[in-house]
Amino acid sequence: MMNRKKKIVIIGGGLAGLALAMKFCERNGEVTVVSYQSLKRSHSVCAQGGINAAIDAKNEGDSPEKHFYDTIEGGDFLAHQPLVRDMCFQAPAIIHLMDRMGVAFNRTGEGHLDFRRFGGTLYNRTAFAGATTGQQLVYALDEQVRSNIHDGNATALEWHEYLGAVLDSDGICRGAVIHDLKTDEIYTLPADAVVLATGGPGQVYGRSTNSVVNTGAAATTAYLQGAKYANGEFIQIHPTAIPGQDKLRLMSESARGEGGRIWVPRKADDRRDPNKIPQNERFYFLEEKYPLFKNLVPRDVASREIYDIVYNQNMGVDGDPMVYLDLTHKSREFLDNRLGGIMDIYTKFTGVDPRDHPMKIFPAVHYSMGGLWTDYGPDQNGLIDHGSPRNQMTSITGLFAAGEADYQYHGANRLGANSLLSCIYTGLMMARGIMNYTDSLEKSVDDIPSTVFDDARNHWKTRFKEIKKMNGRENPYQLHQELGEVMLANVLIVRDNKSLEKATDEINDIETRFKDVKCLDTSDWANPSPSFINQLFCMIHLSKIITKGALLRDEFRGSHYKPDFDLNQPKDFDPHEYIEYLEQKQYGDISEDKFPAGHLDYMKRFEENNIKWLKTTVAQFKDNQPDITYDEVDTSLITPRPRKYD
Partner 1 sequence: MRRRTAASKGRHPKKGVALPLDGEVIHKTMTDKKITFKIKRQDKPGSPSYWQNFQVPYKPFANIISCLMEIQKNPTTKAGKTVAPVTWDCNCLEEVCGSCTMVINGKVRQACTALIDNLEQPIALEPMSKFPVVRDLQVNRSRMFENLKKVKAWIDIDGSHDIGEGAIMPDSDRAKRYVMSECMTCGCCIEACPQFSLTNSFMGAATFNQVRLFNLHPAGSMNKEERLDAVMGEGGITDCGNAQVCVEVCPKNIPLTESIADIGRQTSWQFIKNLLVK
Residues forming the active site: 299
For residue 334, state whether it binds partner 1 (rule: CB under 8 A): no
Q: Is 472 in the site for partner 1 (CB under 8 A)?
A: no
- Subset of 573-632 contacting partner 1 (CB under 8 A): none
Number of residues in contact with partner 1 under rule CB under 8 A: 120
Whole-number minimum distance, CB 645 to partner 1, in Å?
5
Stretch in the footprint of partner 1 (CB under 8 A) among 42-50, 187-195, 455-463, 592-600: 42-50
Q: Please say whether the beta carbons of 364 and 559 come within 8 A.
A: no
In the complex, minimum distance from the CB of residue 101 to partner 1, in angstroms, rounded to a whole number: 6
Q: H or E element: which one contains 355? A: none
How near is the Cβ of 233 to partner 1 at its closest, in Å? 17
562 binds partner 1 (CB under 8 A): yes
- CB of 92: closest distance to partner 1 in angstroms? 9
> Is residue 135 a contact point for partner 1 (CB under 8 A)?
yes
- Taking the complex as a whole, how short is the minimal distance between the CB of residue 328 and partner 1, in angstroms? 22
Identified binder of partner 1 from the candidate list 2, 28, 185, 212, rule CB under 8 A: 212
Which residue among 271, 288, 291, 313 contacts partner 1 (CB under 8 A)? 313
Rank residues 182 and 443 by Cβ distance to partner 1 and give the closer one. 182
Query: Exposed, middle or buried: residue 268 (CB in 10 Å: 0-12, 13-18, 19+)?
Result: middle
* Percentages (nearest 5) of helix, strand, coil residues in the chain: 40, 20, 40
Report the nearest approach of partner 1 to the CB of residue 622 (Å): 31
105/373 with CB nearer partner 1: 105
DSSP 8-state secondary structure symbol assigned to residue 323:
E
CB atoms within 10 A of CB 294: 17
Q: Which residue number, 79 or 251, has a Cβ lying nearer to partner 1?
A: 251
Question: How far, in Å, are 183, 187, 263 from residue 180 at the CA level?
Answer: 6, 8, 49
Contact code string over 344-363 relative to partner 1, x by CB under 8 A: xx--xx-x----------xx
Helix/strand/coil (H/E/C) assignment for every residue in 215-237: CCHHHHHHHHCCCCEECCCCEEE
Q: Of residues 147, 462, 636, 639, which one binds partner 1 by CB under 8 A? A: 147
Does residue 523 interact with partner 1 by CB under 8 A?
yes
Q: How many CB atoms within 10 Å of residue 280?
A: 6
> Could you say which of 2, 102, 451, 596 contacts partner 1 (CB under 8 A)?
102
- Between 574 and 634, name the residue whose CB sits nearer to partner 1: 574
Residue 325 pairs with which residues in a beta bridge? 262, 359
Q: Which amino acid is at 345?
A: I
99: buried, middle or exposed (CB in 10 Å: 19+, 13-18, 0-12)? middle
Q: Which is nearer to partner 1, 153 or 397 (CB)?
A: 153
Contact between 190 and partner 1 per CB under 8 A = no
Among 15, 45, 173, 343, binds partner 1 (CB under 8 A): 45
Side chain identity at residue 127, one-letter code: A
Write each residue from 361 to 380 as x if it is in contact with partner 1 (CB under 8 A), else as -, in one continuous string: -xxxx---------------
As measured in angstroms, the least distance from the Cβ of 96 to partner 1 is 5
CA distances from 444 to 144, 376, 401 (A): 29, 23, 21
568 binding partner 1? (CB under 8 A): yes
How far CA 145 is from CA of 4, 33, 150, 175, 417, in Å, comes to 21, 9, 9, 21, 23
Q: What is the 3-state secondary structure (H, E, C) of 451-477?
A: HHHHHHHHHHHHHHHHHHHCECCECHH
> Least distance to partner 1 from the beta carbon of 19, Å?
8
Q: How far apart are CA 198 and CA 216, in angstroms?
A: 7
The residues, any chain, with a CB within 8 Å of residue 546's CB and separated by 6 or more, are 204, 232, 233, 235, 370, 487, 491
Question: Per CB under 8 A, does 475 bind partner 1?
Answer: yes
Q: Residue 337, interface with partner 1 (CB under 8 A)?
A: yes
Residue 149 or 540 with smaller CB distance to partner 1: 149
Is the CB of residue 542 less than 8 Å from the CB of residue 216? yes
513 binds partner 1 per the rule CB under 8 A: no
Exactly one of 51, 79, 91, 97 binds partner 1 (CB under 8 A); that residue is: 97
- Can you tell me the distance from the alpha carbon of 44 to that of 261, in angstroms, rounded to the nearest whole number? 26
- Among 5, 58, 63, 101, the residue binding partner 1 under the rule CB under 8 A is 101
510, 192 Cβ separation under 8 angstroms: no
Site stretch for partner 1 (CB under 8 A), options 20-28, 225-233, 398-406, 545-553:
20-28
Tell me the β-bridge partners of 195: 10, 400
Cβ distance to partner 1 smaller for residue 314 or 458: 314
> Which residues within the stretch 417-456 sit at the binding site for partner 1 (CB under 8 A)?
428
As a whole number of angstroms, the distance between CA 229 and CA 369 comes to: 11
Which phi and psi (to 5°) does residue 382 adopt? 80, 10
Q: Can you say whether residue 631 is alpha, beta or left, with left for phi > 0 and alpha for psi between -120 and 50 degrees?
A: beta
H/E run at residue 537: helix 529-552
Q: Decide whether 379 or 564 has the Cβ nearer to partner 1.
A: 564
Footprint of partner 1 on 250-309 (CB under 8 A): 250, 289, 297, 301, 304-305, 307-308
Tell the smallest beta-carbon distance from residue 186 to partner 1 (Å): 19
